[in-house]
Amino acid sequence: MKITPKSLYQILFKHFGKLNWWPTDYDYHKKTGSDPRFEVIVGAILTQNAAWLNVEKALENLKSKTLLDIKTISKIDIKLLQKMVKPTGFFNQKAKRVKNLAEYLESNYTGNLDSFFKRNLKEIREELLMLNGIGPETADSILLYAGNQPIFVVDAYTKRICKRLPIDINPTYDEIQNFFQDDLSKKYKKNEILKIYNELHALIVIHAKTYCKSKPNCIKCPLKVYCKHAKELTQ
């Protein structure tokens, strides 16, 4: 049986319901006057091949010392930043990446994320991809979850699921992204797309953590009637 991005969304939404994805610390940003979007940006870098629990620890380290804003990070002592982000692993490169991005935003946009995001989507994306340590997934996460730009985020989970489901595309980043965006942008209204991209990515993550793990747990999987992998297991 065929499956489309829209039906994938509907099935997963029915199964998991609404998710509170990529939360930011409202109290912290209210108290300090910092931009909550920058917390998302930093989180997007720190979560590279890392468990979110460890990212939360790093963000807490930064917030407990009131360091989580663009101007402060752009001037931070790199050794201190390494110490703060250590729980997320790869802390040398991640500290460099976070500081580098903060410096970039500070010097080119005076640390103002409104002027950074208030431009053409492709333009912002190209710009993010130029920066060291910002690949397609991190760029798109920043665009979608910090910038509220309509772009679908593809991650390792999305690739895994696409490989197992009967989806006839080669599972590269761009192919998968186009596959999702082409279908969803046709079937949903423009004012719904942002929410759909946002929620579907979150649903894919929870689905991959619950059922479509590296060692899959197909017994109660809501997609098993569609899935090549689940059928192979029952043979």
Partner DNA sequence: GTCCAGGGCCGTT
Partner DNA sequence: AACGGCCATGGA
- The residues that touch DNA, with contacts defined as CB under 7 A, are 21-22, 43-44, 47-54, 57, 86-94, 132-139, 141, 145, 155-157, 170, 172, 205, 209, 213-215
Q: Largest alpha-carbon pair distance within the chain? A: 60
Q: 113 or 202: whose CB is closer to DNA?
A: 202
Token pair 């593809």 is found at: 154
Residue 159 is encoded by which pair of tokens?
């690739």
Q: 213 or 228: whose CB is closer to DNA?
A: 213
Minimum Å gap between C-beta 10 and DNA is: 22
Minimum Å gap between C-beta 133 and DNA is: 5
Q: 9 or 145: whose CB is closer to DNA?
A: 145
Q: How far apart are CA 18 and CA 21, in angstroms?
A: 9
Exposure string for 142-155, b = 16+ CB within 10 A, e = fewer: bbbbbbebbbbbbb
Q: 122 or 213: whose CB is closer to DNA?
A: 213
Count CA atoms closer than 13 A to 37's CA, side-chain side. Answer: 18
DSSP codes of every residue in 62-75:
HHHTT--SHHHHHT
Q: How far apart are CA 145 and CA 156, in angstroms?
A: 18
Q: 50 or 194: whose CB is closer to DNA?
A: 50
User: Please, what is the angle between helix 78-85 and helix 52-64, to 10°?
Assistant: 140
Q: 208 or 223: whose CB is closer to DNA?
A: 208
Minimum Å gap between C-beta 37 and DNA is: 13
Minimum Å gap between C-beta 130 and DNA is: 9
The helix/strand/coil state of 32 is helix
